[in-house]
Amino acid sequence: MVIGLPHKLDADRHPPSVRAIHARLRHEIITLHLRPRTRLSENELALRFGTSRAPVREALIRLAEEGFIDIQPQRGSFVSRISLGAMRRARFVREAIEISVVRQAAESGLAAPQRAYLDEVIAEQVAASDDPERFTLADDAFHRALVEGIGIMQLWAVLEREKSQFDRLRFLSLPDTTPVAVLVEQHRAIVAAIDTRDATAAEAAMRAHMSEVLKVMHTLASRHPDLIVDDT
């Protein structure tokens, strides 16, 4: 099973859309290919993507709204540092939504194809244990599959928007600070609770999973002051 990056660019066929440019830059920021304080030039990005400055500018505005970049008048656009305050707020929103999702999944059950897909995604996570980028994509696929499983896909758009800072800290923690095996076992516990229709156990398993990043955020902030701002 291979889980790829959505909105893959295909500049050989036609110039990419704002959505595609935004998705590519967002992915590169989350995976630290574009590190905090990196300057983003509209001209250079337009040349890279084979397009005009207008879609690049719009993509940068969207990234700024998500907290990924700081637009400084007369200076330019820079990748922002990871905000622990923003991460805590994102975790609060994400936990509230995802607990409701797993409770609904446990109470109602999942259709056989959706349940089988969760096993496939967990297997992909195990296979990607030494590849943080690949693991992160599989991790997102797991959580998205739960949302799809209860039939309210609009929730994923909310989660994806809110969890931006959370995503960067999560990626930075892999695989050394947060062992991948721990995350995989937490996912298995969530699925096991859904299988037994135990909504209380499903909620507890999701709470434990969502709390994992809190155990390491201050350690990471101490290790990477150039990447993280502790504004809690």
User: How buried is 157 (Cβ within 10 angstroms: 0-12 exposed, 13-18 middle, 19+ buried)?
Assistant: exposed
- Residues of the chain within CATH 1.10.10.10 domain(s) are 18-80
Instruction: Quote the pLDDT of residue 182.
Output: 93
Residues 6+ apart with CB under 8 A from 83: 67, 165, 228, 229, 231
The Cα 115–Cα 220 span in angstroms is: 34
Instruction: Quote the pLDDT of residue 4.
Output: 56
User: How buried is 153 (Cβ within 10 angstroms: 0-12 exposed, 13-18 middle, 19+ buried)?
Assistant: exposed
Could you give the strand order of the β-sheet that contains 39-40, starting from the edge strand earlier in sequence? Answer: 39-40, 76-79, 69-72
Q: What is the pLDDT of residues 195-223, one digit of tens each?
A: 999 999 999 999 999 998 888 888 899 99
pLDDT-derived band at 13, boundaries 50, 70, 90: low
Range name among 6-15, 49-58, 102-111, 128-137 with the lowest pLDDT average:
6-15
Query: What is the average pLDDT across 47-55?
Result: 96
CATH superfamily, with its number, for domain 83-229: GntR ligand-binding domain-like (1.20.120.530)
Whether 106 and 197 have beta carbons less than 8 Å apart is answered as yes
Instruction: Quote the pLDDT of residue 88.
Output: 86
Looking at every residue in the chain, the average pLDDT score rounds to: 90
CATH number attached to the domain at 18-80: 1.10.10.10
- Residues of the chain within CATH 1.20.120.530 domain(s) are 83-229
Q: Which stretches does DSSP call E strand in 34-126?
A: 39-40, 69-72, 76-79, 82-83
Q: Which is it for strands 69-72 and 39-40: parallel, antiparallel or unpaired?
A: unpaired
